[in-house]
Structure 1
Amino acid sequence: MDVYRFFVAGEVVGSERRFAVRFPYDGSSVAEVCQPEENDFEKAVSAAVVAHEDGPQPAHARVAILEKAAALIESRVNGLAQTITLEAGKVIKDAKVEVNRAANTLRLSADALRNLKQKVVRCDIAQGSEGRFGILMRFPVGVLFAITPFNFPLNLVCHKLGPAIAAGCPVVLKPSRKTPLSAIKLAEILYEAGLDRRFLSVLPSSSELAERYVGDERFAALSFTGSSAVGWHLKGRFSGRRVTLECGGNAAAIVCADCDIERAVARCALAPFTNAGQVCISLQRLLVERHIYDTFLERLLEKVRKLRLGDPRNPETDVGPMIDDAAVRKAKEWVEEALERGAKALTP
């Protein structure tokens, strides 16, 4: 079985303490991952602070790094997609889409840096200010603490790292322990692309250890993607500094009588079940205009019943497993609660 080590300021680090990453479809072990300890966090944060004080690589170099990393991701689509499928249970065709989106995320970050302009501000509005002007410049805010979830283990990590690299900010990344393999492989790609290794540490630690460091004032910014309860709790611990939260939603769709009904049915049949419903914008409420309700419902159920469930490694599978048994129990509880409150099950 493969053993994955983590990165502290670009240095490969191992440990005797390890945890297993399991294939959600059958529970089999995919890999073992070395578990960071508190001293690894301390080294990572200290190195990031020094890297910030020394300053980032020049803008042209950061653009080149992001572009090269995007190209490397695209050259490894199949391998990265297989990793996503094995650790997250995402069906392989969707995993390939995620890999391509990850490459695009890094390219968009490079484009943002290319288009980041200094701004000249007029300061001669008041009397006595003739001939004066100001220059608006942007500087790296400091060390970023990034925490990412399991459901998009590559692209959501790129959502954190791409903009941070473009801005010149060092990052300490804590990926989900359920899906750390993609993040570790992405770090390898970024180092290969030329990133100053001090600017990125990847620590698949326990949540308890990561939370202890949320309050560390050496972090200038926190970027968190995950549940609303955890996100708002961490924000409270990070008071007075920059915080970006991307938390769970409660997405709805409204279907009007004058819509393209076939297109609406196709989208609404797939939207709740992509990644087994484990998407922050997964469709949870569907409001259909009364005039087309019966026709829409009949066609929707027909589409849903044709979705293929099974092994996510199979290219024909539409819906794979949920991430773990706890997620299944939670979904089951929600269904039972809805039925108890008067909902009607329309499919087996």
Structure 2
Amino acid sequence: MLPFYVAGRPATGNEVLTVRNPSSGSVVGSTSYASESQVEEAVAAASRVPLDLTAADRAAALDEISRQLSARAAEIAALITAENGKPAKWASGEVNRAVSTFRWAAEEARRFSGDLQRLDTDPAAAGRIALVRRVPRGPVLGIAPFNFPLNLVAHKVAPALAVGTPIIVKPAPATPLTALLLGEIMAGLDLPPGMFSVLPVPNDRMPSLVADPRLPVVSFTGSGPVGAQIRAAVPAKHVTLELGGNAAALVAADWDDLDHAAQRIATFGNYQAGQSCIAVQRVFVHARHREAFTAKLVAAVEALDVAAEVGPVIDNRAADRIEQWIEEAVTKGARILTGGTREGTTVTPTVLTDVPADAKVNAEEVFGPVLVVTAVDSDEEGLAAINASAYGLQAGVFTRRLDLAFTAHRRLQVGGVIIGDVPSFRADQMPYGGVKGSGSGREGVASAMEDYTEPRVMVLTGVDL
């Protein structure tokens, strides 16, 4: 049984948490839930940590985490596949991204210096200069989801260490083991006691931890309803929410490489069973390409190796919901072009068309291997269709027109617009997050460092500028 980490030290609890593989149901490993007294110990320790780590200390710790993740990449990828079910290629890619995330955070820690502002731009402020530095708001509570059990934990831990603030990580109950392995690596570093804790906590015990005033920052990645509950429960706290979406791609009139677009959309609508906040879900194709593109898309989806590229969804409850949503769409008039079946937790990659706007597969986040294809009569109609959603995380526009690219960037109500590719692209250093129902705040190391800190100004008087 793997230990969890309380104030940087390994610990165990009395309530066992068994982790099973989503596909086979076999036992992957086990840990235990932290008790109330252990949670209190972690929070109390975090609140006492002196914020005096030098930039060199912070950068060195982050570099070492990056090196150890790289050295143990095969082991960690195998663990991700075992507890999450994602195919090995995507698990390996996740580890590589986490290696990069911590390496980038080390670089940001070295650059985290503040700004100087001349104040003598006004005669009344002659001889004055301001130093603006960002200081930690206080210990962070980072709540991570199951779909990226390493890299989305990294996106909470790395920026916290980069600014020198303590963090308590609460991994998803379905996938805690990878986060605990990261905790093992961090426990071997020379960090102050209380700088980090990794605590498996049942979801029904989280409200008191979220409300604890000693944790002024809450960083949550997960479902919209839970995010809304957190925001409502702690309005005085600094809350960042990455809540997912129903990402769309537009194949514009000028796009001529339909094979490429079909392949990219097929792959990234179904990778790791569509369990990504920016997996392609809605596909809008200009009417001139409808027949040719749809045929190519269906062929590309059917050519996917389900075991090697798609994999299972996280559990039977998720598979049940996806199956029900497909059935609801068909009942409302949708046509299944391929897929629509299920075996255990594996949902066959599915392409639907003629789907009503109010069907759940269109209006909500499927979080499964389902694509909805809709023809539009103009690129402008396609952009409007992308915006006709309660969500706004990222969108992809397949076009080579520079003017359309800038129009899409200006008009689309999303956090990121990917031109010439699917919305599923993400570089871990860029600002990442959404608008509307997709949340608030931004991930990406430098962006999260801003969310974890606040500006503090020092004005020097009598300075000869």
**TM-score, normalization: structure 1?**
0.95
2:5 to 7, 10, 27: 7
| Structure 2 counterpart of 1:314 | none
| Structure 2 counterpart of 1:328 | 319
| Structure 1 counterpart of 2:57 | 61
CA distance in 1, matches of 2:213, 2:121: 40
2:252 matches 1:261: no
1:19 to 4, 11, 17: 17
CA-CA distance at 1:329 after TM superposition:
0.7
2:298 matches 1:307: no
Question: AA paired with 1:4?
Answer: L
Question: AA paired with 1:45?
Answer: V
CA-CA distance at 1:197 after TM superposition:
4.1
CA distance in 2, matches of 1:15, 1:136: 44
CA-CA distance at 1:198 after TM superposition:
1.8
CA-CA distance at 1:210 after TM superposition:
1.7
| Structure 1 counterpart of 2:332 | 341
2:267 matches 1:270: yes
CA distance in 1, matches of 2:65, 2:160: 14
Runs of 5+ unmatched residues, structure 2: 340-465
CA distance in 2, matches of 1:194, 1:80: 22
Higher helix share: 1
SS in 1 for 2:131: strand
Q: Percent identity?
A: 38
CA distance in 1, matches of 2:165, 2:258: 47
CA distance in 2, matches of 1:17, 1:118: 45
> Pairwise mapping of residues 202-217 of structure 1 onto structure 2 (< 5 A)?
202-217=198-213
Structure 2 vs 1, CA of residues 56 and 327 (structure 1 numbering), >3 Å: closer, same or farther?
farther
Runs of 5+ unmatched residues, structure 1: 311-316
| Structure 1 counterpart of 2:395 | none
CA-CA distance at 1:149 after TM superposition:
0.2
Q: Deviations over 1:114-173 (max 9, x none)?
A: 222221112223334211111111212211001000000000000000000001110111
CA distance in 1, matches of 2:323, 2:110: 48
| Structure 2 counterpart of 1:32 | 30
2:218 matches 1:222: yes
SS in 2 for 1:7: strand
Contact 1:63 1:110 (C-alpha < 8 Å) held by counterparts: yes
1:76 to 72, 76, 92: 72
Question: AA paired with 1:31?
Answer: G
CA distance in 2, matches of 1:56, 1:208: 35
2:92 matches 1:101: no
2:164 matches 1:173: no
CA distance in 2, matches of 1:99, 1:189: 14
SS in 2 for 1:307: coil
CA distance in 1, matches of 2:189, 2:209: 29
Contact 1:15 1:35 (C-alpha < 8 Å) held by counterparts: yes
**TM-score, normalization: structure 2?**
0.71
CA distance in 2, matches of 1:218, 1:71: 32
Question: AA paired with 1:258?
Answer: D
| Structure 2 counterpart of 1:248 | 244
1:295 to 248, 273, 292: 292
Contact 1:56 1:169 (C-alpha < 8 Å) held by counterparts: no
CA-CA distance at 1:195 after TM superposition:
3.0
Contact 1:222 1:238 (C-alpha < 8 Å) held by counterparts: no
Q: Deviations over 1:277-298 (max 9, x none)?
A: 1100111110111111111111
CA distance in 2, matches of 1:342, 1:84: 38
CA distance in 2, matches of 1:237, 1:187: 28
CA distance in 2, matches of 1:249, 1:306: 26
2:177 matches 1:147: no
CA distance in 2, matches of 1:192, 1:324: 34
CA-CA distance at 1:65 after TM superposition:
0.8
2:223 matches 1:232: no
CA distance in 2, matches of 1:302, 1:5: 46
Contact 2:138 2:216 (C-alpha < 8 Å) held by counterparts: yes
CA-CA distance at 1:99 after TM superposition:
0.1
| Structure 2 counterpart of 1:135 | 131
Pairwise CA RMSD of aligned residues?
Answer: 1.2
2:185 matches 1:194: no
CA-CA distance at 1:211 after TM superposition:
1.9
CA distance in 1, matches of 2:334, 2:190: 55
Q: Deviations over 1:77-113 (max 9, x none)?
A: 1100000000000101110000000011111111222
SS in 1 for 2:94: helix
